[in-house]
Amino acid sequence: KLILLDSLLQEISVLAMARLDYRGKMILAPMVKVGTLPMRLLALEYGADIVYTEEIIDMRLLGSERVENTLLGTVDYIDRRDNSLVFRTCLKEKDRLVLQIGTSDGDRAAAAAKKVEKDISGIDVNMGCPKGFSLKGGMGAALLTQPHKVRDILTKLVDAVTIPVTCKIRLLPSLSTTLELVSVIQSCGVTALGVHGRTKDQRPNDPCDAAAIKAVVKHTSLPIIANGGSSNNRNSLVNSYKGIKQFWQETEAASVMVARAAEWNPSVFREGEKDNIMIVIEKYFGYAIEFDYPFNIVKYCVQQLLGSLQESELGRKFLNCATMGDLCELFGQGQQYREKQEMLGRHCRPDKEFSEKMDKQEREGARKRKIGEEEVTEMFCPFVRGHYGDNESCRLPKTLLLLYARQKELGQPQYEMEQQDKQFRARVRLGEECYGSMTWEKNKKYAEQGAALVAVKCLNITKEDIVWKQTKVEGQEEVEHAEDVTS
C-alpha cells in the first residue's frame, strides 16, 4: 500500500507542475557534450526559456541507476555497467528541462521516458540526427522515412508519460513528403515539433530553408520550433540575438531553437551585445566546479567557447591541460576548485563509483575503450596546426610516429576515420596497439594528426628519439630533414 501511495503521490506531483509551453520560447538545442548541466544552467542564466539535454540513447537510460546526490544537490543517472555519468540535473532547471532520447523502439522509449519523467518537464525524440551511429541503429534521421515506426514510438510515449512529448525532425527531400510526415506526427498527440531547415544530407554550410519551415507552420496546428538558423561562421551577425530573432520571424514559428550560436557564446540568448567570451568562460567554470563535472566534458565545452583563441598563448596552454585542476588554474578558478574538492572529499559521496572512475581517468590521462573487438587507448588531444611552424614538418605527430614505426620495424601506421557531420576523428593502429583522439577535428588531416599525437604521447616519442637523415645542401652545412606526412 505504501508503494502504491508513493507512486500515486509522484504522479500527482508531476501533474501539479505547470506543463511546458512551447510557444514564444528561445530554446537551447540538444548538442553532444554541450547539452550537459553546466551549459544548460548558463544558457538559462543568459535568458534561454527552455534547455534540451544532449541526446541520450534509451538503452543507456534503462541501464542506469537513479542516485539522489545530496552533496551536489543533483539527481544523477549512473550507468551500472561502467559507472559512467549518463545524466545529471538539478532543481534550478527542472521546470524548463527537456530530455532528448535516441530510440528506434516504442516500448524502450516509453520505458526510458517513464524512468526519468519525474526529473524533467518534457521528453523529445531525436528524429533528425544524420550521424552514422544514429542511422545504423535505426535512430535519428533513419526514422524520417519510416512513418509507421514514428507513429509507434510517439503514441507509446504519449500514452506512457504525463509530461509533454515532442520530436525533432529534418526536412525530407520534397516539401510534400515533409508535410505528410508532419501530419503523421500531429496525429500521435505530441505537444510540439522541432524542424531543422536542412535535409539529412545537408551540412551546416548549406543554407537553412526558412521558407520550408514556414510551410510546415502553415500546414499544422502544432507549435513549430524553428531550428538551423545559426551560421557556420561564428562571427556572423546571424549568430546574434538580433539575427536569431530575424530567423524566427522569417519562419513564423512558435519558438526558435539555437545550436551553434549558443555553443560558441550562450549570451546570445540575451538581448543586446554578447558578453566577452572570457566572462562567459568564467561563468561556465562556476557551474562546472559547483556540479563537479568531468574534465573531458569541461575541456570540450571551453574549447567551443574559445574558438580561434585556441591559437593564442592562452589557447596553447589550454590545449596542454591534462586535468580539471589544470584547467581551473589556467582560468583563475584554482582556489574555488580546490575548495569544492576538499568539501566533497570530507563526505561519503552518493556517486562514489562514478567519482572514483573520474579521479582515476584524470590521474592516468588516457583511457581504454572497446570499439568492436579492438581495445583503443584514447586521450583528449586536439591538434592545433599553429603549434608547429610552417617549416617544421619534422615535428608533426604523424611524421614522428611514421619515422618511429620504421625505426622500430613496426610497419606503416594504419589510420581509420570516423565522421560526424563535417567533423572527424581518427584511430591509428601501430603494431598490436591502437590509439585514438577523443577530439572532433575540422578535417581528416587534423583528425589523423590528433590520433598520431595520442600515440606519440603514450609512447613518449620525442624528436630526439628519431634518427634523422642528413642531406647535403650546396654551400651549407648538412641539415636534418624528414618527409612531410601532413596529408
> 40 with 263: CB under 8 angstroms?
no
The answer to whether 128 and 141 are in contact (CB under 8 A) is yes
Listed range (148-152, 239-243, 330-334, 394-398) with the worst mean pLDDT: 394-398
Tens-digit pLDDT profile for residues 357-374? 777 666 666 677 777 778
pLDDT band at 474 (very low <50, low <70, confident <90, very high): very low
Cell numbers 538503452 label which residue?
59
Residue 92 reports pLDDT greater than 90: yes
Q: For residue 486, what pLDDT is reported?
A: 40
Q: How many CA atoms lie within 13 A of 152 on its CB side?
A: 12
Residues sharing a CB contact under 8 Å with residue 374, sequence separation 6 or more, in sequence order: 434
- The predicted-structure confidence for 118-144, as pLDDT tens digits, reads as follows 999 999 999 998 887 788 888 999 999
129 classed as catalytic: yes
| 418 secondary structure, DSSP code | E
- DSSP for residue 73: T
Cα–Cα distance between 46 and 88 in angstroms, integer? 20
The per-residue pLDDT for range 380-400, each reduced to its tens digit, is 777 877 667 666 677 889 999
**3-class DSSP state for residue 41?**
helix
Most confident of 254-263, 320-329, 349-358: 254-263
Percentage of residues of the chain with pLDDT beyond 90: 66
In sequence order, what E strands does 4-96 have? 26-28, 50-52, 56-57, 64-69, 74-79, 85-90
Q: What is the pLDDT of residue 131?
A: 82
What is the pLDDT averaged over residues 256-265?
Answer: 97
Q: Which residue has the higher pLDDT, 375 or 227?
A: 227
- What's the chain's average pLDDT? 88
Given a cut of 90, whether residue 65 has pLDDT beyond it is yes
Is the pLDDT at 17 greater than 70, yes or no? no
Residue in 90, 129, 167, 434 annotated catalytic: 129
The pLDDT, as a whole number, for residue 210 is 97
| pLDDT at site 364 | 62
User: From residue 146, how far is each of 105, 151, 154, 187 by CA, in Å?
Assistant: 12, 9, 12, 15
- Using pLDDT thresholds of 50, 70 and 90, give the confidence band for residue 440: confident
138: left (phi over 0), alpha (psi -120 to 50) or beta: left
Tell me the C-alpha distance between 465 and 421, whole Å: 38
Residue 126 has phi, psi (to 5 degrees) of: -75, 110
Residues in the chain: 487
The Cα 400–Cα 378 span in angstroms is 18
Residue 479 confidence class, pLDDT cut points 50, 70, 90:
very low
pLDDT digits (tens, 9 = 90+) for 199-247: 999 988 899 999 999 999 999 999 999 999 999 888 899 999 999 999 9
Most confident of 191-200, 437-446, 452-461: 191-200
Q: Which residue has the higher pLDDT, 463 or 235?
A: 235
E strand or H helix at 416 = strand 414-420
DSSP letter at 441? B
